[in-house]
Structure 1
Amino acid sequence: MTNAHSVDSLRELNAKLLAEIIELREENAKIPDLKRKLAEFESEKVELKARFAEALSQAVEESKRCDAENAELKTRIEGLEECKVDSSVENVRRDVEFAELRAEVVKLAEGAQTRDGNEERKQPTQDISPEVIVNVPSTIINQCNKGFKGTRSLFCHLV
Structure 2
Amino acid sequence: MMNKPQKIIEELLIILLGLRMNILNPETIVSYADHIICSDENPDSLFIDLSLSSKNKNEMIHHLHTYIELNKTHIDQNRVLSIIKILNKEKIFNLESTVMVLYRLNNEIEIYGFERNVIYRLDDQYYLVSNKIVMQTMDELETEIFDFLSNYSEKSEILNILNC
TM-score, L = length of structure 1: 0.18
TM-score, L = length of structure 2: 0.17
Higher helix residue share: 1
Computing the radius of gyration from Cα coordinates, the structure with the larger value is 1
